[in-house]
Amino acid sequence: MNTTGNTITRADLSQAVYEEVGLSRNESADLVEMVLEEICTALERGEVVKISSFGTFTVRQKGQRIGRNPKTGEEVPILPRRVLSFRASNTLKERVDNQDA
């Protein structure tokens, strides 16, 4: 499936849907885009996206804090922001871990 080396692209996902589900290439690409767009939209709204046996995407609010410029040592404020985090499911962790065996 993967034609780009070690990176899976949208095109790779669309190709996999095309091969496995039997939709046309355009329908497969549209389906992949719709799924990714729904995930993005939910995360923009601050919702949790949980995909069974895969993992959970969450958005966290980080407060303002003081950081340090590594070159000068000068203290600099780091503004509050929202950050995206991903926690892999135990099933996914086990699958990845078993690839080393």
Q: Over range 17-27, report the average pLDDT.
A: 94
Residue 66, classed as helix, strand or coil, is strand
Confidence of residue 2 (pLDDT cuts 50, 70, 90): low
Predicted local confidence at residue 100, as pLDDT: 62
Predicted local confidence at residue 71, as pLDDT: 94
Contact indicator for 50, 88 with CB cutoff of 8 Å: no
The residues, any chain, with a CB within 8 Å of residue 1's CB and separated by 6 or more, are: 8, 12, 15, 16, 19
Contact indicator for 20, 28 with CB cutoff of 8 Å: no
pLDDT in tens, 56-86: 999 999 999 999 999 999 999 999 999 999 9
Q: Over range 11-15, report the average pLDDT.
A: 94
- What residue ranges define each of the domains in the chain, with the CATH number in brackets? 10-98 (4.10.520.10)
